[in-house]
Structure 1
């Protein structure tokens, strides 16, 4: 099982490296959304520091939705996904590996670049660290949720819009607690509960999302 998991993840990473433009497009979209707000709002330091977590989290969410349709689309188009469903290997393991690869391709680069973008909002270093940690917990949850939507809308006309309508309401709790931990830290409040909720949501999605995505793929391809 473990060898299968890493083999599928490595395959998806190699395919993504050959289509580097998709990774670049997601990062450019994220950078543009975050960078436009300071330009439009002005140089009010207090205002920028207040709105920074919400802007960065919303940008990360939208970037994740932009990348989500590609999770299964390539394998569906060339028939590889059907072969995966027909194989004797557990589909849940394959889907889990694909979700991990998707996060490494589309989510982790956003986390890595977020400290540089946070400097535009004149955030202190401790606040930037809190923001990065919250994104590190939250963006995998976005990828897991997006996988369910990508499986449900696979092969459907206008799937990108439909995926957003299905997934965005499910990601609101992640968005609320992801940005809320930063606001609580800025207000001098205890952030322990926020971290527990973020970690709990990630753990629950890590268990449920691959199973739900696997069943959805079988239903959509039957």
Structure 2
């Protein structure tokens, strides 16, 4: 498992859609928003947490189509299926490596890129914390879509169509928790704890559903 984790981490960084590409795309989204909104700094600060989450979701989708497709092309997926080890655990290791290579850099870059959105420091901290907790759920949900489209050569668009609707609850509670700090009236803990619960549920359901889809695609 350690060797698989190290291999997947190297691939997630080197393959297109890795850390640098994801952060650059994240930067592009957050840079375009002020030009579209205009000079209204209050409005920009109001929608800032939502734009951070939307940018993180779109950046996460960049490399998901290669999560299992490369293994299918080089025969590694067949070796995983015949290894006798729990496929669910292998999927979880791949998702963890993928998040460390693509999702964590987005979280690290959030405090720096938030300057484009005129956010208060406390709001930046809350948004960063919600992204740290919620982006693993986006990766785990995306793994299910990647497993369903692994046999398609150009399944990137279909992957986005499958993943985005199931990512909406994560988006709602992530934006709600960060927005609660920005407003100062709504409680932060309730949406944040629900966001944590969604990540934990995804950590259980995601690998099981993705493993089932991979077994079905191999038949």
TM-score normalised by length of structure 2:
0.95
Q: 1 CA distance for matches of 2:169 and 2:139?
A: 14
CA RMSD, 1 decimal: 1.4
Q: 2 CA distance for matches of 1:109 and 1:38?
A: 22
CA contact (8 A) 2:122 2:181 kept: no
Partner of residue 199, structure 1: 196
Q: 2 CA distance for matches of 1:166 and 1:21?
A: 19
The SS at the match of 2:71 is: helix
After superposition, residues 1-222 of structure 1 pair within 5 angstroms as 4=1, 6-19=2-15, 22-188=18-184, 189-222=186-219
Gaps of 5+ in 2: none
Gaps of 5+ in 1: none
For each residue in 1:145-168, what CA deviation from the matched residue of structure 2 results, as whole angstroms up to 9, or x when unmatched? Answer: 000000001021431111111111
CA contact (8 A) 2:18 2:101 kept: no
Aligned residues: 218
The SS at the match of 1:69 is: helix
For each residue in 1:15-55, what CA deviation from the matched residue of structure 2 results, as whole angstroms up to 9, or x when unmatched? Answer: 33444774322221111011111123222210110111111
**Aligned in 2, Cα 1:202/1:27: closer, same or farther, shift over 3 Å?**
same
TM-score normalised by length of structure 1:
0.93
Give the C-alpha shift of residue 93 in structure 1: 1.3
For each residue in 1:53-73, what CA deviation from the matched residue of structure 2 results, as whole angstroms up to 9, or x when unmatched? Answer: 111111111111112111112
